[in-house]
Chains A and B, each alone.
Chain A
Amino acid sequence: MALNAEQREIYESIPEPSVLTRRLQWAVDYWRPRNQYITQMRDALEGLNAIQIPISAQYKAKAIHLYLIAAMLNEKTARFQNMPTAQVIIDDPTDYELVEISTELEQGLNILAYEIERKGDGDVWSRATLDAILIDEGVEKIQMAPAAFWKELSLHDSRALADKAYKHPFQDEMREGYKKEYGAPFRTLYVPLEYFLPIYDGSNLDESFEVEGRSLKACLDNPLFDKDVLAGFPEDSYGGLSTVIPIFHYCNDNYYCYFTTTSSNVTYNTGSNVTKLKPESMSVASELVYLYGYEHGLGRSIYNCIGGRYGGWKTQHNHIESVGKGILEISQAADELGSQVLTGINNRKWPNLKWKVSPEHRPMNPLGKPPEAPEVQPGENIPMWADEDLEPIFRPEEDPEVMWTMSLLERQLSKLGGSSVLTGERQPGVDTGYQHAQQISQAEHIDEKIEEHLRQGAIQRFTIIMLYIRKLGEKVWTHYSEVDANDPKGRKIGKYIPIDPKNLYPLPRIDARVRKPKPIDFMAALRAAREASDERQGKGPLLPDLVLLQELLGRDAPNIDKRLIHIQAQQNKLMESGVLAQKIGQAIGLKLAKKGVPQPTPEAVAGVDPALTQAIQQVAQGQAAGAGGVNPDLLRQVQEKMNNLNMRGGGMLSGDSQPEARVGEMIAGAQGMR
């Protein structure tokens, strides 16, 4: 193992591989019950649970998975946002400067929440939310990688660091321009919970391992990995694509490192073309081998554990297991009942027929077998003797037990997973919309814990981002597109919003929204907001608008809302005041005065009464001088005509400006200047 000085320093800053191997072995064993439970839940979600059906019967059995867990999960995940929204809490809402900074920070963080997913593996928050609901915890890993996302800048910085006399500092505008172009150097990756093996000290996440199966090709392509270590793995016939190398990501409060071990010590799930690590049954026998590491320096883990209803897995058992097992059992029973019902329907609707034959008219064949069954085509008539009969073996009959059992299962499932009123099912005795809404609201209480824990997870996500920016020590730019709050026409503008590390000391308090209010909630909030902002017979409103907008209506940037309201109010006032009508009248007058005015041609000027040309010169020097003057081109033409006629006058008119100066005067006049 040949490590450079930097890697050597990191290697020596973390526990020795032998120690880490033992910790990993412990973590694998410790989390095995959790991982077995997760496997069960994921199998049931994907409809991989086995349904016992009779092997030998008079009829053909049909198995059907009702995917009740998937249905529940669909409904539950739909209630939450695809991306959390940050809200920066302001200590003093009357401080304009603070409000502006917090609004900008909110906007920046919300763009970053999107950007880190785009630069990662996408849809991370949604997938983590799904895990949090299904197995009580979702995990994401947020990384900062300036060397990857700001490659040139990073190269420059290391060169400048090495050579103090470096002549071309990549600084100021050029540096900021580069960062604007390449965006923030962060990404987030989804980590399936079963691949995440944390080691907690109480409730504090001290260190963790993440297990990953990565192809040999990907490992060899990674310029950071120690190639000497990977040389021991033989390349397969697909250029290393079908050889899976176990990668163990070790993370503590300051370091993040990659390890591997010999693949023979790790158990895989082998499919037709997929080889996958099986965390629930894996074991690690040989020592971990260091591949690469870096100092993240956050003072906390870079993993964000997003809790579900019971707040996630701090120990190998969790209350979610009883709920999950209950759901699994009921779902299994529902699948079996569904299969039995379907089998029954199948056999009744496509029946096996029983033919009672007349022994007198259809004698037994010589081998002692009953006569061959008649082949009847659909719609065909068949003759039978009076004492014969043709009837289905299984006759349809009403079975209240099926209905009762299915209804029981559904009810129980609702209690465990959330009321079915949330999926639109109307309960008996609930007639009005109000009662229905009331029931939905009650049913939602069961999910309030999920929402609260997701919110905490979102706060942690934004905290990690802010800690990274502080660690980076320079501005991070985010590109933002929004409706221009200052533009009454509501045009969209794009702008860059910086997140300045200076504004992150002390670390701002963050709140987050993970669920969009339903229209009915919004209506209720609106009504409450109106009541709270009533004048109350001169006593003033109960709450200020800013608080109502932010806390009751959950608006992201209430100061922008306020500004828009002011603009709208002033627009309305302006419209009502009649000023616009007056201005329109004036503009029409001016435009009409100019409209349709002929532009005399030289021929026309030459053809007018000479008395008129004299008059024009006189007017130009007299009355017109104080009222906008006369076009110099026209005067020149008039002068030419007079010269041709050998009349008095000629030359530049006394007191008149040069033609160029006249143009300037015209422009000044048009702009309303003197």
Chain B
Amino acid sequence: MSTFIEDMEALVDKVSDWGVDVILDSVEQLTKDGRPFGAVAMSPEIQMEEYMKLHGNPEAFVKYIDSKARDLITQLIEDGIAEEDIASIHPYDIAINFTIEWSYDMEKKMGEQGDSAIYS
């Protein structure tokens, strides 16, 4: 038989579950087919120019990835999200994935322009 205190504990548990459901439902609706915040497309020339600042320089790439990941982490911390929650989405993974895609695109373009033999 439950006491008043047990009832209250159960209530907090149930209501917080309900709150999480509501949040997830809302987020699901709000972010459906959306694009990430802060993703502004640059022109191909500027992109190449930026890329060439990193090209062939591992340390520059490290700094770039680190800065992108740090930007993301900072933004999430500003949103009040706990660090362990931020770690759960692997911000460095995200930054690396974007950089790989970017590098791949740029390398392809460079190859098309005849500069592909730089490292061969």
Contacts and interface: CB of A to CB of B under 8 A. Distances in A.
A609 interface: yes
For B1, B8, B37, which residue has the most chain A Cβ atoms within 10 angstroms?
B1
Contact of A584 (B23, B57, B94): B23
For A598, A599, A629, which residue has the most chain B Cβ atoms within 10 angstroms?
A598
Contacts of A441: none
A315 interface: no
Nearest to B99: A612
B75 A486 contact: no
A432 to B, nearest CB: 46
Contacts of A100: 1-2
Interface stretch (A16-24, A45-53, A589-597): A589-597
Interface string B1-35: 11110011011101100111111101100110011
B15 A571 contact: yes
A618 B63 CA distance: 11
B81 A592 contact: no
A610 B1 contact: no
A589 B14 contact: no
A567 B93 contact: no
Nearest to B94: A597
A594 B106 CA distance: 23
A592 B34 contact: yes
Contacts of B20: 583
A628 B87 contact: yes
B35 A596 contact: yes
B94 A593 contact: yes
Interface string A526-557: 00000000000000000000000000000000
A623 B107 contact: no
A96 B3 contact: yes
A489 B14 CA distance: 10
Nearest to B75: A589
A670 B58 contact: no
A593 B22 CA distance: 20
Interface string B76-89: 10011110111111
Contacts of A671: 88
A629 B95 CA distance: 11
Contacts of A615: 58-62, 64-65
Q: How large is the interface on B (under 10, 10 to 19, 20 to 34, 35 or more residues)?
A: 35 or more
A627 B61 contact: no
A350 to B, nearest CB: 72
Contact of B98 (A579, A598, A630): A598
A608 B91 contact: no
A137 to B, nearest CB: 41
Contacts of B93: 597, 624, 628-631, 634
Contacts of B101: 598, 600, 604
A586 B79 contact: yes
Nearest to A100: B1
A181 interface: no
Contacts of A600: 97, 100-101, 104
Given A100-B1, A604-B104, A669-B87, A598 B58 contact: no
A447 to B, nearest CB: 40
Contacts of B48: none
Interface in A616-654: 616, 618-620, 622-624, 627-631, 634
A488 B19 CA distance: 10
A308 B103 CA distance: 92
A346 to B, nearest CB: 70
A593 B36 contact: yes
A605 to B, nearest CB: 6
A594 B92 contact: no
A3 interface: no
B96 A608 contact: no
Interface of A: 96-97, 100-101, 486-489, 563, 566-567, 570-571, 574, 579-580, 582-600, 603-605, 607-612, 614-616, 618-620, 622-624, 627-631, 634, 666, 669-674
Nearest first, the 5 A-B pairs at minimum CB distance are: A615-B61, A624-B92, A669-B88, A628-B90, A628-B87
Given A592-B36, A595-B35, A627-B91, 18 more contacts: A97-B1, A488-B14, A489-B21, A570-B15, A582-B80, A583-B23, A584-B22, A590-B89, A600-B104, A611-B54, A612-B58, A618-B58, A619-B92, A620-B92, A622-B62, A628-B92, A669-B88, A672-B84
Interface of B: 1-4, 7-8, 10-12, 14-15, 18-24, 26-27, 30-31, 34-37, 39, 54-62, 64-66, 69, 72-73, 75-76, 79-82, 84-94, 96-101, 103-104, 106-108, 119
6 contacts: A100-B1, A571-B15, A584-B27, A593-B72, A609-B106, A629-B90
